[in-house]
Structure 1
Amino acid sequence: MTLRTLIADDEPLAQRRLVIALNKLDDIDLVGTADDGEQALEAIAALKPDLLLLDVMMPGMNGFELLKALEVEDPPAVIFVTAFDNYAVDAFNEGALDYVLKPVDETRLCKAIDRARDRRRTLKAEARVEQLRDVVARLDQARADDLQSPYDQDLWINSRGSVVRVPVKDVRCFRAAGDYVSVQTGTAKHLADDTITSLDDRLDPDQFLRVHRSSIVNLSSVRAIEREKFGAVVLVLDDDTRIRVSKSYKKQTLQRLTHKGSAA
């Protein structure tokens, strides 16, 4: 089954990479490209593609808004091409939509296309329309919920070729690890391509506290405060992890944990 395919992506380099990848596939007929959401809507109406490779973040109209505005009886299968927006995860997991991460891995793209082909083959047009409407409604709600808080609720971490969702509330501590950050939960450790400083800006200060230039702790995970020689302070977490508090963060750390302004 050959899929008539449309690419909607405002990044010229990303668009070229997709064109190159698709031209290697015998069962893909690339019918056009669009640089933004409005162009994509017009192209879908005119070209009636079977498959849409859709960038999430585009100027004017993003990928989610495009899907909401889509009014066709036989909608294309959709694969998001994205750096991953956390409020889209439920839709991806439902299987109604799929995604590939930028920069696009051709093997991952082929797998997503195969799943899109299966959906078109097994679902009637009416069912795909209803499914798409349901997904868009849930995306809108999830996005609204996400925007209510200015702080990260989830982290999405590349791990062995897949993307792992780590709820921020489950993280005991973040620790610098070279060019990465070690993310420690109750059951696992992950390496995130991030920085302590960036995380410090994105985490809820009521829940997390930076205690060292290379460490952030979840306040609810702190089990004990230990004082060592020369006034050094170490936090003991509920899994026995020990986090040293640096001198420059000592006063604010003790104030937060003991609620006493003179605790230092």
Structure 2
Amino acid sequence: MLKPIRVIVIDDEKQAREGIKLLLEAVPAFELVAMCEDGLKAIENIYKHHPDLIFLDIQMPEINGFEVLNSLDNHLRPAVIFTTAYDQFALKAFEHHAIDYLLKPFTNKRFYESLEYAKSILQLSTFKRFQHKMESLLKDYFQNHKHDTDTYVVRNRHAEQATFSNKLTIKADGKIHFVPLEEIQYLEGYDSYIKIHTGEKTHIVKESLKTMEQKLPGQSFLRIHKSFIVNMKYVKTLEPYFNGDFFLILASGKRLKGSRNFRKGLGKYTL
């Protein structure tokens, strides 16, 4: 007996998700393993379930369908049937690259035609051709949407899930990056953006330091200045300075100046 084709449905509209679920239930060859209401949850579930096929809405808030695909490792990208309301660029792109899509609202007949198309994609030789088409589609999309490359911290509606609770989710250049909190050494604030410094990389995001302070666990991260939040696990030495100010010296040798206005936050730490 052949294994069922594992499917994930990704759409921010509950009615759309439930509609596809109902249609899939009539076809035993397909097994629905997850339904996702946003791009962040979609990425998590694709990595978790390794589906063969996804139904992917394009026009989702914050992280759209193209950004979901662009954030996946190449070997984890499944076969895709896009679902979308009218989008001139997307429809032209799909037709140019011969990628299947369902234009909302679609008929049952059109849906089951897409399922047959998906079966043909999942043959090994056909899937390799599909992957090449998908690479070209994503390349064209992001070349035409360079203005959509703002870098920012994604609002996390699933913070209670272990996958997200200890990571900062950053959208940059059309990709989603999960930065472990334990790797963040300090954050440096400017007028309209901040720099997030890890041991190997610096992420620049459009965010205020005040907002970031609320997102980070207070038991580990301490605001020491209007321009700095530091992960105290990386602090090697504390040195007093003039007028109640102080310096924190990190294990890397980096010196960060702290303000007396934030000194009381040091709590158990002694100067």
**TM-score, with structure 2 as normaliser:** 0.51
Counterpart check, 1:216 vs 2:229: yes
2:78 maps to 1:96: yes
Residue equivalent to 1:256: 268
Rounded Cα–Cα distance in structure 2 between residues aligned with 1:226 and 1:115: 64
| Aligned AA (2:18) | E
Distance 1:43 1:148 in 2: 29
Q: Given the alignment, which residue of 17, 26, 29 partners 1:37?
A: 17
Distance in 2 of aligned mates of 1:198 and 1:245 = 19
Moved more, 35-44 or 210-219: 35-44
State the secondary structure of the residue aligned to 1:240. coil
**8 Å contact kept, 1:152–1:203:** no
Q: CA RMSD in A?
A: 4.9
Q: Which residue of 2 aligns with 1:195?
A: 208
**Secondary structure of residue in 2 paired with 1:257:** coil
Task: Give the CA deviation at 1:40.
Answer: 4.2
State the partner residue of 2:248.
Answer: 235
1:89-238 equivalent positions in 2, closer than 5 A: 92-93=72-73, 94-96=76-78, 121-124=120-123, 147=160, 152-238=165-251
In the TM superposition, 1:75-90 aligns within 5 A as 77-78=55-56, 81=60, 83-84=62-63
Partner Cα separation in structure 2 for residue 78 and residue 36 of structure 1: 11
Q: Check conservation: 1:155, 1:168, Cα contact below 8 A.
A: yes
Query: 1:257, 1:116 → 2: CA distance?
Result: 59
| Alpha-carbon distance in 2 for matches of 1:174, 1:251 | 19
For 1:194 and 1:115, locate their aligned partners in 2 and report how far apart those are by CA, in whole Å.
39
What residue ranges of structure 1 are gaps of 5+ in the alignment?
Answer: 1-5, 11-33, 47-53, 68-73, 129-142
The partner residue of 1:56 within 28, 37, 51 is 37
SS of corresponding position for 1:250: helix
Matched to 2:250, the amino acid is L
Q: What is the distance in 1 between the residues matched to 2:249 and 2:98? A: 47
SS in 1 for 2:269: helix
CA shift in 2, pair 1:240/1:210, >3 Å: same
Deviation of 1:239 (Å): 2.0
3-state SS, counterpart of residue 256 of structure 1: coil
1:183 positional shift = 0.2
By how many angstroms is 1:162 displaced? 3.3
Query: What's the secondary structure of 1:210's corresponding residue?
Result: strand
Residues 168, 180 of structure 2: 8 Å contact kept: yes
Structure 1 residue 174: Cα displacement: 1.0
**Deviation, structure 1 residue 185:** 0.5
Whether the 8 Å CA contact 1:235–1:243 is kept in 2: the answer is yes
In 1, distance between residues paired with 2:260 and 2:208? 21
